[in-house]
Amino acid sequence: MDICGTKFFLFKGEFDVSILNIVQLFGGLAFFLFGMSQLSSSLEKMAGGSLEKLLKKVTDNPAKGFIVGMVVTIAIQSSSATTVMLVGFVNSGIMELIQTVSVIFGADVGTTLTTWILSLTGIKGGNVWMDLMKPKYFSMIFALIGTIMIMLAKKQRTKDIGTMAVGFCILMEGMTFMSDAMAPLADLPAFSKMMESFNNPLVGVLVGTLITGIIQSSAASIGILQGLSMTGQITMTMGIPIIMGANIGTCMTAILSCIGVNRKAKRVAAIHVAIKVVGTILWLIIFYGLNTFMHFSFLDKTASTFNIALFHTIFNVVNTAVLIWFQKLFVKLAMKLFPDEKEEQEIFLDERLMATPAIALSEVENSMTKMVDKAFNGLEASTEMLLDGFDADQFTYIQNNEHKIDDYEDHIGGYLMKLTTTQHLSEQDKKKATKILQGIGEFERLADHASYISKSCNEMAEKKIKFSEDAKKDEEKIIHACQEIYRMAVACYRSGNVDIARKIEPLQNVISVMCETYKENHVERLAAGTCTAEQGFIFNDILYSCERIGDHSMNIAAIVLRVSSINMDSRKYMHDIKLRKTPENEKLYEEYYSKYLN
């Protein structure tokens, strides 16, 4: 067929190809890749939290890791995405290297499901029911249902399911476009001659590796091969090496994900590459070695979408069955390639995890938990020091701890802002993000006041200042009240317990009254000559930090109330509590007042 009279030259052959066929071929490829991206991302959004829980349950048990890897990859339809997650988890310190190996093997098997779905394009029609099994028909039903869900649904999860259905349709239509565009190639001698070069296994492996490395999806490159097979010009001799090469090329995504990560994470990619390369080499040697003597007859048969999917599955299953027993050897190889060295920073949130927002947010939560723990430990150390006496080692710990908390605030805040502005989050994840964004500032301020209290202790030790007996009694009462309020704040933030959050505001009011009362007491002591002005400056600094600890603890309680699912206007509730309008709050206030001021 000669449309527009355009001529193209490949190798030494000449043939006429319609511009429309070329446009359809590349358009089909674009549809295919976009559809796969939409399908994968929608699945990740829907299953993100569950996937993270699955991956975190992985142990050194190879069978369990294999199953988890397979399930996760089936869920998101991408072994590359699973491997990138593993790189991020190891980089963040969530998983150990040995735990990732069996997961990688499971991912290799899980990714074969995609090629089986794509093999449906090769179904031959015969009656209306067989035709309905073809993607070009049944995918349209998916598109219709998905579009209705996107347009009418109010819940984001339902919209994600709709996007997944539309993505599947686009993927299948892309496959159909490519198959239709390649159909005219079957009658071209030059195309047949070009395909013959793939009879050389090494050339086939190289081509499969390059194509997959460029588009970064083995499922996509094998889908292209399945489309080519529908021309009738691809034999199994040509197809098998390309499938092997595609399994090597898929490592490119993991390799790129290692830019900027620590050496532990780089080892994950090294293991992934080693498994694929070693497996391919073994297949080439054993398979073609046996063929030399046994002359496999099926190699000369025309490849179909079905037997390409079948060989892809056999390759990965057998590869896994043989190599999974050598996990420790792969780990040792990775350790040699990337030996240990001192890690530079304590906190690292991997931006690669943002591809799966639910998992990225979960890692932010883990880092936030560490920050809260550090703030709590700093407060405990500083208040105990004020009661028990100055300790140089504890002072150094508190100051270093405060600097680390500053780093946590910077890293978590910056990472979370980027995550929330560049990725779609579910309503539940938005609540979590809000809680963390508001919480990091409050806990950083608490750590500041822990530092200030320890500095007051240090100043008293250096200047050999001691409070009077009456000042010590006031100090002990206010410190015990502060310990109770920040412990409640930490407890309600960790658990989201609304009942604990409700108890904080009354105590904060009592602490404010205590601070005013103790300032007046100090003025009286100054007048009586039992305390000096120098003692007074330090005493007032401590009172100021105690009052601010109460304020920030109250703010943390307000955060918990705002993001909780309680059926009330949390701002009005906090306003009423501040004015002590609720009977519950009146009772709590009186209890705290009696405990600390009577």
Note the pLDDT tens digit of each residue in 46-72. 655 566 666 666 655 677 778 877 877
Least confident segment among 124-128, 401-405, 462-466, 529-533: 124-128
Average pLDDT over residues 446-459: 92
Per the model's pLDDT, the better-predicted residue between 248 and 230 turns out to be 248
Average pLDDT over residues 157-184: 75
| Cβ proximity of 264 and 97 under 8 Å | yes
The DSSP annotation for 253-322 comes to HHHHHTTT--HHHHHHHHHHHHHHHHHHHHHHHHHHHHHHHH--GGGGSBP-HHHHHHHHHHHHHHHHHH
Per the model's pLDDT, the better-predicted residue between 216 and 526 turns out to be 526
Least confident segment among 17-26, 155-164, 222-231, 272-281: 17-26
User: What confidence category does residue 5 fall into, taking pLDDT thresholds of 50, 70 and 90?
Assistant: very low
| Cβ proximity of 398 and 378 under 8 Å | yes
Least confident segment among 95-104, 171-180, 399-408: 171-180
Q: Which two tokens stand for residue 577?
A: 């509590």
| Cβ proximity of 398 and 382 under 8 Å | yes
Quote the mean pLDDT of the chain.
78
pLDDT of residue 208: 81
State which of 8-12, 335-339, 515-519 shows the largest mean pLDDT. 515-519
Which pLDDT tens digit goes with each residue over 139-158? 778 788 888 888 888 777 78
Please report, rounded to a whole number, the percentage of residues in the chain having pLDDT higher than 90.
15
Average pLDDT over residues 161-185: 73
| Cβ proximity of 556 and 493 under 8 Å | yes
Alpha carbons 347 and 146: distance in angstroms, whole number: 41
pLDDT of residue 425: 77
- What pTM, to 2 d.p., does this model score? 0.57
Number of C-beta neighbours around residue 321 at 10 A? 11
Average pLDDT over residues 354-365: 79
pLDDT at 10 over 70: no
